[in-house]
């Protein structure tokens, strides 16, 4: 096959992978998801973060917001930075909406619904988050979408799922609510009378986003193999519940309700947070040869029956004594010294890092975890780079976050072929 034929074949393959539409809108295709187009209609974290991760790996992500208001929560939530036009934008938005094509569209209006249908016929996947059955009430039915685009993967992300008890499906959910209902919060924190503790930041939502992304990609792989798309139902509480380890086996098989026990392990020690003379460290040396190595560092004989018992029975008198000795030893030393001494002995130990620590740490720098990029709204930004690192087809940041409706003209003109009079009418009607 000559070069021109090869080029044509590659073009046909790209078009097929992008729902048979025009080639990708991404200026210079890159990454493992370069042949993937995703339509995203979520707010805040649970679905948009999944879409953002895909965009950082080369997917063309068209993210839809409501005209006029947009995703006010995530655009404005928390600490904000100045924009070039004198306004402000949230650091959350700047970090997590890179590479995304942001458009506005009111899918509740007939013209908006029609445009939405055109978009998904050109997509590999549509991901959204809302209360269960929200889009069905708007007249956007999965079966209709699959009839229009049989290869489409539809991922619904909601607090309680699309099926089940009707009163649950209608409930609103946020990160803290999902952590509470999914069982994570009950186990997080210190024993009574300590309160159940929220895992931060937005841990339940981020877990849900990862489930949403991997399941969507699995659906796309399946659709490319057999030509059949499908609907995926991601319930936030189930994603959170799924990462609770053996919690439910313990209950169903042994009747055990796993309780809060702080940062330590109930079955072995040391595995906990410890206060140094100037900060905090986490030490883990419960198994194999790590416990004897730790004992040597702090001056104990690991062959002594007392400490062997202490290792695997933290609640025993010997266990309590060992914990007191270790805490005393650590409290007399600086964080730097404790981390150095334990790691030199091949004992797992890390300082409890804050933002400043991570920014200045040599390993973070060596792996280029933090990077700079140009944000359309806020100018030069430094934050977290691409994770994970693909050596063959790496992800990248080709553009930072953008303002509300920034890509309307590009998407509606280039992808859907609308002309200026039509766009003017849609703007006047507040459809876009």
Share of the chain above pLDDT 70, in %: 95
Q: Is the dihedral of CA 406, 407, 412, 414 positive or negative?
A: positive
pLDDT at residue 4 is higher than 70 = no
* 288/196: higher pLDDT: 196
Cα angle 369, 374, 376; round to 5: 135
> Which of 10-24, 26-40, 132-146 comes out lowest in average pLDDT?
10-24
Residues 166-176: pLDDT tens digits? 999 889 898 99
pLDDT in tens, 34-49: 999 999 999 898 999 9
Residue 404, CA distances (Å) to 42, 240, 409 in order:
14, 31, 12
Q: How far apart, in whole angstroms, are the C-alpha atoms of residue 305 and residue 188?
A: 33
Q: Is residue 9's pLDDT more than 80?
A: no
Out of 124, 205, 323, 407, the active site residue is 205
Distance from chain centroid for Cα 3: 40
Under the banding of pLDDT at 50, 70 and 90, the label for residue 83 is confident
Give the model's confidence band at 288: pLDDT under 50 very low, under 70 low, under 90 confident, else very high.
confident
Domain parsing of the chain, residue ranges: 15-243+368-428, 271-358
Is the confidence at residue 186, as pLDDT, over 80?
Answer: yes
Q: Cα separation of 230 and 35, whole Å?
A: 19
Annotate 183-219 with b (16+ C-beta within 10 A) or e (fewer).
Answer: bbbbbbbeeeeeeebbbeebbbbbbbbbbbbebbbeb
Q: How far apart are CA 283 and CA 270, in angstroms?
A: 7
pLDDT at position 22, please?
62
Residue that wins the pLDDT comparison between 70 and 142:
142
pLDDT tens column, 231-262: 999 999 999 999 999 999 999 999 999 998 88
Closest among 49, 99, 54 to 74, alpha carbons compared: 49
pLDDT of residue 14: 37
Report the alpha-carbon distance of residue 432 to residue 47 in Å, rounded.
21
C-alpha closest to that of 40 among 114, 116, 112, 109? 116
Q: Enumerate the β-bridge partners of residue 379.
A: 375
Q: Which two tokens stand for residue 178?
A: 């999902």
Q: Which residue, 190, 199, 326, is CA-closest to 261? A: 190
CATH superfamily of 15-243+368-428: Crotonobetainyl-coa:carnitine coa-transferase; domain 1 (3.40.50.10540)
Q: Which among 216, 239, 256 has a CA at the least distance from the CA of 125?
A: 216
Confidence label for 399 from pLDDT (cuts 50, 70 and 90): very high
Instruction: Tell me what pLDDT residue 411 has.
Output: 95
- Token pair in block for residue 209: 């986003």
CA atoms of 67 and 86, how far apart (whole Å): 21
pLDDT at 78: 84
Q: How far is CA 166 from CA 133, 179, 208, 223, 368, in A?
A: 10, 21, 21, 30, 48
- The CATH number that domain 271-358 falls under is 3.30.1540.10
Q: Rounded distance, CA 402 to CA 375, Å?
A: 7
The verdict on whether 167 is a catalytic residue reads: no
Residue 102: CB partners within 8 Å, gap ≥ 6? 63, 65, 401, 402, 403, 404, 405, 406, 407
Q: Residue 8 above 60 pLDDT?
A: no
pLDDT mean across residues, the chain: 90
- Checking if the pLDDT of 69 tops 90, the result is no
Could you identify the residue written with the tokens 């919060």? 185
Q: Model confidence at 344, in pLDDT bands (50, 70, 90)?
A: very high
| pLDDT value of residue 16 | 38
pLDDT at residue 72 in the model: 78
Extended beta strands in 195-236, E state: 230-235
| Per-residue pLDDT, 21 | 55
Cβ–Cβ < 8 Å for 98, 56: yes
- Residue 265 — pLDDT band, cuts 50, 70, 90? confident
């Amino acid at each position: 096959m000559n070069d021109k034929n090869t080029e044509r074949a590659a073009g046909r393959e790209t078009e097929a992978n992008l729902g048979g539409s025009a080639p990708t809108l991404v200026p210079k295709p890159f990454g493992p998801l370069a042949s993937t187009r995703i339509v995203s209609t979520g707010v805040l974290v649970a679905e948009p973060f999944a879409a953002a991760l895909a965009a950082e790996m080369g997917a063309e992500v068209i993210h839809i917001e409501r005209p006029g208001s947009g995703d006010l929560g995530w655009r404005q939530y928390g600490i904000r930075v100045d924009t070039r036009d004198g306004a402000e934008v949230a650091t959350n938005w700047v970090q997590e909406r890179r590479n995304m094509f942001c458009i506005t569209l009111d899918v509740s209006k007939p013209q908006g619904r029609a445009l939405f249908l055109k978009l998904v016929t050109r997509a590999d996947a549509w991901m959204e988050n809302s209360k269960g059955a929200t889009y069905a009430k708007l007249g956007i039915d999965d079966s209709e979408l699959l009839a229009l685009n049989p290869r489409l993967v539809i991922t619904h992300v909601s607090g309680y799922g699309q099926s089940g008890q009707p009163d649950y499906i209608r409930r609103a959910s946020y990160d803290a609510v999902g952590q509470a209902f999914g069982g994570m919060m009950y186990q997080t924190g210190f024993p009574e009378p300590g309160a159940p503790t929220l895992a931060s930041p937005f841990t339940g939502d981020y877990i849900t986003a990862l489930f949403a992304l991997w399941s969507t990609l699995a659906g796309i792989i399946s659709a490319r193999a057999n030509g059949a798309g499908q609907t995926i139902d991601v319930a936030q509480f189930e994603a959170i519940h799924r990462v609770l380890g053996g919690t439910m086996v313990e209950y169903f098989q042994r009747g055990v309700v796993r309780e809060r026990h702080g940062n330590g392990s109930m079955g072995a020690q040391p595995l906990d947070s410890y206060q140094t003379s100037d900060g905090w460290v986490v030490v883990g040396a419960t198994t194999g040869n790590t416990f004897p190595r730790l004992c040597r560092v702090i001056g104990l004989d690991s062959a002594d029956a007392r400490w062997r018992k202490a290792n695997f029975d933290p609640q025993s008198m010997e266990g309590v004594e060992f914990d007191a000795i270790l805490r005393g030893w650590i409290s007399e030393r600086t964080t730097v010294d404790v981390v150095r001494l334990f790691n030199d002995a091949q004992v797992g130990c890390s300082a409890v890092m804050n933002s400043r620590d991570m920014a200045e740490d040599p390993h973070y720098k060596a792996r280029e975890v933090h990077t700079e990029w140009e944000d359309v709204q806020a100018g030069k930004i430094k934050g977290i780079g691409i994770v994970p690192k693909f050596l063959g087809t790496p992800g990248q940041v080709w553009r930072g976050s953008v303002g509300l409706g920034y890509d309307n003209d590009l998407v509606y003109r280039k992808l859907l072929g609308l002309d200026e009079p039509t766009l003017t009418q849609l703007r006047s009607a507040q459809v876009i």
